[in-house]
């Protein structure tokens, strides 16, 4: 009897360690890099470049790309107290709290199979998949960027012509935004109009990554509703158009009436005319 009990305990311990090691292996950081984006987001202010830092966290089989401001905002929201209204509705109370601002709330997961884009639309996280970029043109040209030996590559992607500098000395086929598939980490990538520029500005030494896990909150990408790019764009447009209805359905009190919300919508529509998106073509 003692023998079987001991055997059962050993098997339980073995499978627990095996399960943990698989989960740990899946989420262990293989690389952590910070990129600085400089972008002309609005055609009305062509001389102004918005700057924002992004984190590229690389695991065994996939990489996560997300705005650092967006990650900070997640932490702030998680710590906010929840206020219950008289009608029972619950709201996050951000009074007196400085909430980090970001122009980019998406999460992108890169893998060898595809690129997956996630973002909050209305009250739901939606996601769509796109193929990994395959039409890179490798150029016989070299350059040193921040002491890193780089090679040149070019690609046309979503209506823009891009020049990338990658390092085969860092054999990770990932990069900023949706750019991946090169034989080395992308160190810098710029479009030919100079509207968008991503550059690697910081990396964590491998010696400091031991036993570290990817820190992207799973709520940003798990349980997302999968759709197509076209349906995603339509849902986003509908969510913006139905802002008043969304607030009413959640029983949120609209201070000073619906005219305030309509004015915000009007301003958004006006600003949208002058947006300079990173993707000029949707397909």
Average of pLDDT values for 252-270? 55
What pLDDT was estimated at residue 91? 55
Q: How confident is the model at residue 273 (pLDDT cuts 50, 70, 90)?
A: confident
What pLDDT was estimated at residue 171? 95
Select the more confidently predicted residue: 276 or 122.
276
Please name the residue ranges forming H helices in the chain. Answer: 2-27, 68-79, 229-241, 243-249, 258-272
What pLDDT was estimated at residue 259? 58
Q: Of the ranges 36-40, 85-89, 129-133, which one carries the lowest mean pLDDT score? A: 85-89
pLDDT above 80 for 67: yes
What pLDDT was estimated at residue 211? 86
Average of pLDDT values for 230-245? 82
From the CB of residue 164, how many other CB atoms can be counted at a distance below 10 Å? 25
CB 221 within 8 A of CB 71: no
Average of pLDDT values for 26-32? 85
Q: Does the pTM exceed 0.85? A: no
Q: How far is CA 280 from CA 2, 56, 277, 283, in A?
A: 70, 24, 6, 9
Q: How far apart are CA 198 and CA 65, in angstroms?
A: 12
């Amino acid at each position: 009897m003692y023998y079987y009990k001991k055997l059962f305990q050993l098997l339980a311990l073995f499978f627990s360690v095996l399960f943990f090691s698989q989960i740990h292996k899946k989420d262990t950081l293989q690389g952590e890099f910070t990129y600085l984006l400089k972008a002309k987001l609005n055609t009305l202010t062509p001389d102004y470049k918005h700057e924002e830092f992004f984190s590229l966290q690389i695991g065994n089989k996939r990489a996560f790309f997300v705005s650092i401001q967006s990650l900070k905002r997640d932490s702030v929201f998680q710590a906010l107290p929840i206020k219950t209204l008289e009608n029972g509705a619950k709201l996050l109370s951000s009074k007196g709290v400085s909430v980090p601002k970001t122009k980019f709330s998406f999460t992108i997961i890169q893998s060898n199979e595809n690129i997956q884009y996630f973002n909050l639309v209305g009250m739901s996280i939606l996601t769509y998949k796109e193929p990994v970029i395959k039409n890179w043109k490798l150029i016989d040209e070299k350059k040193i960027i921040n002491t890193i030996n780089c090679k040149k590559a070019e690609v046309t992607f979503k209506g823009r012509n891009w020049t990338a500098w990658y390092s085969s000395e860092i054999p990770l086929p990932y990069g900023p935004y949706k750019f991946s598939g090169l034989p080395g980490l992308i160190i810098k990538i710029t479009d030919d109009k100079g509207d968008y520029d991503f550059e690697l500005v910081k990396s964590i030494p491998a010696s400091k990554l031991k036993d570290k896990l990817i820190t992207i909150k799973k709520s940003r990408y798990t349980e997302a509703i999968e759709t197509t790019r076209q349906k995603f764009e339509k849902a986003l447009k509908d969510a913006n158009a139905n802002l008043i209805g969304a607030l009413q359905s959640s029983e949120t009190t609209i201070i000073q009436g619906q005219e305030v919300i309509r004015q915000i919508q009007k301003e958004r529509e006006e600003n949208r005319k002058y947006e300079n998106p990173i993707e000029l073509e949707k397909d």
